[in-house]
Structure 1
């Protein structure tokens, strides 16, 4: 029986998490799947994990030792776990900044597709998604359902402070304020 691409991503996501857990590599599910676990729509692409920058080499070794195919792409801030036509990103630098251990420390262990794993904190998820906005990628349409689904879980005052230097992120906060998704967020 043929499995769908989504089922393949689910399986690879679980295998990646289990390999990192078994090797005691600190990590957290991040990105679209972390938001999905917290109520946002399910992403239609890859899954992402965050490891502290100092753990990148150990994460790569743990994944390879678990029999997963690890690919070192041209980018110097991630590696890819690949199987067939799907992949999982393991990231150690986000928006140009090294991933600090406190991001992983704030993660909450939750069940994800029947596997207990650390999932990035809601406020950190939103901050990371907003800080990725720039003149090359500014898709508010993908972020609106995330903000709507997670609005009660997020410390929006902290988000506003954290993204204050990114005009694209600030514009998104104005938008969700004006749409009534998170009233008052753009006034800090």
Structure 2
């Protein structure tokens, strides 16, 4: 029963992505697929919660307005780093200031073109996604189990030394990376990363 529910939830997220991408392309608003859905694009597990789209700060409100005109419900949360939209029951986070990864022209350029379920779009670079997730760990949000699932699935594509360097100021990220190393998930410090495989359609 739980598997059926998860499958329906993932299908709903894909439907939301299918609805949002052409709207943003038509409005000529640059964006990246981020969050757990981006990790799925690199071979990670199917997410079942929400959809994260990443925008430069100057583009986020324009993106929300474009989605609203296309029939998405919208709302302004108390957080100062994102806006929100809904496609039916799926929450779409319009993120413009994730922790530790400014969304700017360089971040957009680092993204990778992917075709996901016949949807062509740019996906946030894997190290950018994982940096933002690791830097979001704190004493109030310290559930590492799902994060371990994500990195285990894509471990051969990660530049672990780069990830360590970019998250070095966070004791929570340091603890997670040590755990990943002790579990045999991450490459030891100083190990050359394995080149990412060519783009495929999940």
Q: Settle same-fold status: TM greater than 0.5.
A: yes
User: Could you tell me whether the CA contact under 8 Å between 1:31 and 1:47 is conserved in 2?
Assistant: yes
User: Could you tell me whether the CA contact under 8 Å between 1:71 and 1:79 is conserved in 2?
Assistant: yes
TM-score (norm 2): 0.84
Gaps of 5+ in 2: 1-6, 192-202
Aligned residue for 1:93, secondary structure, equals coil
Inter-partner Cα distance in structure 2 for 1:135 and 1:186: 29
Inter-partner Cα distance in structure 2 for 1:179 and 1:144: 10
Residue in structure 2 matched with residue 68 of structure 1 by the alignment: 72
* Deviation by residue 1:125-162 (Cα, 9 ceiling, x = unmatched): 11111111111111111111211111121111111010
Inter-partner Cα distance in structure 2 for 1:102 and 1:136: 31
Inter-partner Cα distance in structure 2 for 1:6 and 1:182: 27
Residue in structure 2 matched with residue 153 of structure 1 by the alignment: 157
Inter-partner Cα distance in structure 2 for 1:96 and 1:164: 11
Q: How many residues align?
A: 185
Inter-partner Cα distance in structure 2 for 1:125 and 1:186: 21
The within-5 A match list for 1:86-165 is: 86-95=90-99, 98-165=102-169
Inter-partner Cα distance in structure 2 for 1:30 and 1:177: 24
Residue in structure 2 matched with residue 58 of structure 1 by the alignment: 62
- What is the aligned counterpart of 2:87 among 75, 80, 83? 83
Are residues 185 and 40 of structure 1, via their aligned partners in 2, closer, same or farther at CA, if it must alter by over 3 Å? Answer: farther
- Per the TM alignment, residue 96 of structure 1 is displaced from its structure 2 partner at its CA by 7.1
Gaps of 5+ in 1: none
Residue in structure 2 matched with residue 168 of structure 1 by the alignment: 172
Inter-partner Cα distance in structure 2 for 1:52 and 1:136: 27
Are residues 177 and 186 of structure 1, via their aligned partners in 2, closer, same or farther at CA, if it must alter by over 3 Å? Answer: farther
Structure 1: 4+ residue segments shifted above 6 A: none
